[in-house]
Structure 1
Amino acid sequence: MRRTLTRLVPLAAALVLAGCAAMSAEECRTANWRDQGYRDALAGQPRSHLGDIREACAEAGVRPSEPMYWEGWNQGIGQFCTPANGARWGRDGKSYHNSCPPELEMGFLARYRDGRTAWDAEQTLRRLQTEQGNKQRELDNTKDDNQRKRLREQLRDMDWRLRNARDDLDRAEWRLRQGY
């Protein structure tokens, strides 16, 4: 068992570190740099991401074609930085890495914030629902009358908080729909 762990730990560490690289050596050697720039832009990668790629590919002895990468990135970022995509990006709870150029950022960010507000409200609602379920299980398993009384009061308070959280989510979703 110990021998197996001794072999697996370095392998696991290598896999984790490989997952951190912007690109693998094989990806660097076979990259279509225009397509890579386009994909990175559509994934919301900032301009600085090319530096990460440059570093990863240098280890493989490959130098990215920057003009081709920027051609693809510039095309993709125009598609990424739309208000509609900002709303989707925020609603999915994705982080924004300041990738949009100034002339496109205002529209993207306004809708991103609307989407992110809805996502945050949904997360709050889910957290409260989980907390309510835990409190209910605790109440179901408690025999002590004082403890039961305290838990029922907490559940009543939680009902109020859940109603407010649902209202917050409804308002955020309404606002998100109004922007389309």
Structure 2
Amino acid sequence: MNRGIRLLRLGAALAAATLLASCASMSEQECLSADWREQGYRDGRNGQPLSLVESHREACAKVGVTPDLAAYKAGRAKGVLEYCTTDNAVREGRRGASYRNACPPELEGRFLDHYRAGRRVYDAEQRVNSLDSRSRDLQRRLEKEKDEDKRKRLRQELRDLDWSLRNARNDVYDAERRLRY
């Protein structure tokens, strides 16, 4: 086998091993020094689902550490109260974060209402950004185009895109306005 191919395969195998190792929820050192109540609190505050403790259990089993489930759950219960606020729900939605079913049932409905409102703003802003980018691209193409028929089609496409962009900006405005009420 060619030496270059062998080196390429070896490099790919090392990269894959590194990637798999980096997927662990906690490092060996974190496992060995874990305060499980604090870890649960951090995970809850960050909106992580309770099932993440299973990933911690798998990561830490490699060094012979078992999570203190009672301490983890107690810490997570406090942390999740900070995560599951309406202000945070809007923030999470506006930044396009995924909701990972972290909130307890008594907080989830209200959280999700505010999260979805924030997510509507995010989605509308993403649409505006996409249309802006497409508009700039069409404008560059129009500037370079020499054929008059193609220029005419590009100008029409830009007019249509301007209409879509105006509607998308109105959607952002409406979504933001709804957040205030």
**TM-score, normalised relative to structure 1:** 0.93
SS in 2 for 1:44: coil
Partner SS state of residue 72, structure 2: helix
1:25 correspondence with 2:28: yes
The whole-number CA distance in structure 2 between the counterparts of 1:15 and 1:132 is 41
Of 59-68 and 108-117, more deviation after overlay is shown by: 59-68
Per mean C-alpha deviation after superposition, the further-off stretch among 19-28 and 71-80 is 19-28
Question: After superposition, where does 1:12-161 map in structure 2 within 5 Å?
Answer: 12-161=15-164
Paired residues, number? 178
Runs of 4+ in 1 over 6 A off after TM superposition: none
* CA deviations over 1:86-131 (Å, ceiling 9, x no partner): 1111011000011111000011100000000000000000000000
Kindly indicate whether the alpha-carbon contact (under 8 Å) linking 1:90 and 1:114 is maintained by their aligned counterparts in 2.
Answer: yes
The one-letter code of the counterpart of 2:62 is: E
Change (3 A) 1:125 1:175: same
* Offset, 1:5: 4.9
Contact 1:18 1:24 in 2 (8 A): no
- Give the whole-Å Cα distance in 2 for the aligned partners of 1:173 and 1:54: 42
Partners of 1:63 and 1:122 in 2: CA distance: 44
The SS at the match of 2:160 is helix
The amino acid that maps onto 1:115 is G
- Structure 2 unaligned segments of length 5 or more: list them: none
What percentage of aligned pairs have identical amino acids?
51
